[in-house]
Amino acid sequence: MVRTKTRDEIIAVAAELFSRAGFKGTSLHDIAAGVGCSKATLLYHFDSKEAILAALIAPAAAELAELDTRLAVLGGAARQEAAIDGFVDLVLRYSREAGIIYYGSQDVLCSPPFAEVKPLIDNLCAAFAAGATDPADQIAAEVVLAGISSVAIGKPDDAVLRSALVAVAKRALLTPPMKD
Amino acid sequence: MVRTKTRDEIIAVAAELFSRAGFKGTSLHDIAAGVGCSKATLLYHFDSKEAILAALIAPAAAELAELDTRLAVLGGAARQEAAIDGFVDLVLRYSREAGIIYYGSQDVLCSPPFAEVKPLIDNLCAAFAAGATDPADQIAAEVVLAGISSVAIGKPDDAVLRSALVAVAKRALLTPPMKD
DNA sequence: GTCTATAACTAGATAGAC
DNA sequence: GTCTATCTAGTTATAGAC
């Protein structure tokens, strides 16, 4: 993976456009115009439009895999808390990439490197549910995971947002103490 | 608005395809193949591809507007509860349409009839927040609204899912009783 | 490493026969 | 009301000059 100024700028512009208009809704012409180069230059640096997508997703996917590894050695409540904190942190630092992954339609998401992301999200959802057997608790985990992703998308990292996301996750997921 | 068998079938097939591959990711050819007719037939029944989208979204948008009207005369906790119940009901009965609206990229969502949907969603979010002034509570409302939409999308209406969505919304939004 | 020009293809939409 | 054939414009990707 060679690093050049133009290559990095292509990734930056593509990330911005993909997150606003979607992968299918963004053409090579749009990206080239944003960078200030020709379409041919894009395809000199990347094999294809999909290769641009793969390259810009890669760092976020790698960190998600890291989080997955960290969670694997934990269990129960500690795993749940680490999953919440870790995911909120990740989605705020990669809010554009999260949007691209999250809003990507099925056919785009079935292509690499998304294929490897899917099981990591499933693991994360299981960690959010903290081994609950009640279907309602598993659905709650899905709601929180999806809701956090959706709200964080496109927003800059921010302390208030970060703590609010963690707070609502814990309020929604921590089993309520019987009655009140 | 004339009702014909072919017209309705076009809407049904388009709804299915748009929800799986997105508006941009679905071609007239795809829809025609699904219906078993030609592209020209699609454009005999509808002025354009976008007109198909508008027609299939219309019933869901109309019901959302109805919900908005019902909520307008309520206040406080009653409004919040009615918003949660009403939205969960709506999104489960129109789970495909919800996906199309929810996952639609910006440029698609800026076109009619989506322009009128956006403020209704904002009102709904305010009802979820129940007039809370704390930014964290408003963010919680966004998370719950987005999470419910996302989880319901594409799923059949189901009593377990319905009650679980309502339950997680109430757990996440009802302000916790001081400490525990 | 970047460009212009263009190939090869697909899109949405139209014309006109039946 | 549905079709085949076609138009125009836009798409990804390649060729070859600089």
* A54-67 residue pLDDT tens: 999 999 999 999 99
Q: Identify the burial level of A19 via C-beta atoms within 10 angstroms of its C-beta, where 0-12 means exposed, 13-18 middle and 19 or more buried.
A: buried
Report pTM.
0.94
Residues A20-37: pLDDT tens digits? 999 999 999 999 999 999
Residue B157: the pLDDT is: 96
Judged against a pLDDT cut of 50, whether residue B180 lies above it is answered with no
Residue A1: the pLDDT is: 63
- Residue A102 contacts by C-beta under 8 Å, 6 or more apart in sequence? A149, A150, A153
Residue of B nearest to A21 (CA): B105
Chain A stretch 92-131, residues whose beta carbon is closer than 8 A to a beta carbon of chain B: 103, 105-108
CB A66 within 8 A of CB A123: no
Judged against a pLDDT cut of 60, whether residue B8 lies above it is answered with yes
Judged against a pLDDT cut of 60, whether residue A180 lies above it is answered with no
B146 at A interface, C-beta within 8 A: yes
Kindly report the nearest CA distance between residue B116 and chain A, in angstroms: 20
User: Smallest CA–C1' separation from A35: which nucleotide?
Assistant: C2
- Residue B94 contacts by C-beta under 8 Å, 6 or more apart in sequence? B59, B60, B63
Share of chain A above pLDDT 70, in %: 96
Residue A17: the pLDDT is: 97
User: Which one of A139, A173, A179 makes the best mutation probe of the B interface by having the most chain B beta carbons within 10 Å?
Assistant: A139
DSSP codes joined into one string, B84-135: HHHHHHHHHHTHHHHHHHHH--HHHHTSTTHHHHHHHHHHHHHHHHTT--SH
> What is the pLDDT confidence band of residue A110, given thresholds at 50, 70 and 90?
confident
Judged against a pLDDT cut of 80, whether residue B36 lies above it is answered with yes
Of the candidates A21, A147, A176, the beta carbon closest to that of B171 is on A176
* pLDDT (average), residues B6-10: 98
Residues A38-55: pLDDT tens digits? 999 999 999 999 999 999
Residue B178: the pLDDT is: 46
d(CA B42, CA B39): 5
Judged against a pLDDT cut of 60, whether residue A179 lies above it is answered with no
d(CA A132, CA A147): 19
Residues A134-159: pLDDT tens digits? 999 999 999 999 999 999 998 999 99
Among A77-91, A96-110, B80-94, the range scoring the smallest mean pLDDT is A96-110
Protein residue closest via CA to C1' of D5? B40
Residue B108: the pLDDT is: 84
User: Smallest CA–C1' separation from B24: which nucleotide?
Assistant: C11
A160 at B interface, C-beta within 8 A: yes
d(CA A17, CA A15): 6
> What is the pLDDT confidence band of residue B107, given thresholds at 50, 70 and 90?
confident
How many Å from the CA of A9 to C1' of C6? 27
Average pLDDT, chain A: 93
Residue B179: the pLDDT is: 43
Kindly report the nearest CA distance between residue B147 and chain A, in angstroms: 4
Average pLDDT, chain B: 93
Share of chain B above pLDDT 90, in %: 83
d(CA A14, CA A32): 9
Residues B128-159: pLDDT tens digits? 999 899 999 999 999 999 999 999 998 999 99
* Chain A residues touching B151 at Cβ < 8 A: 139, 142-143, 146
Residue A53: the pLDDT is: 97
Helix (H, G, I), strand (E, B) or coil at B22: coil
How many Å from the CA of B47 to C1' of D2? 16
Kindly report the nearest CA distance between residue A105 and chain B, in angstroms: 5
Chain A stretch 20-79, residues whose beta carbon is closer than 8 A to a beta carbon of chain B: 20-22, 24-25
Residue B45: the pLDDT is: 98
Judged against a pLDDT cut of 50, whether residue A122 lies above it is answered with yes
Residue A104: the pLDDT is: 86
Q: Taking the CA of residue A51 as centre, how many other CA atoms within 13 Å lie in the half-sphere pointing to its CB? A: 9
Residue A71: the pLDDT is: 98
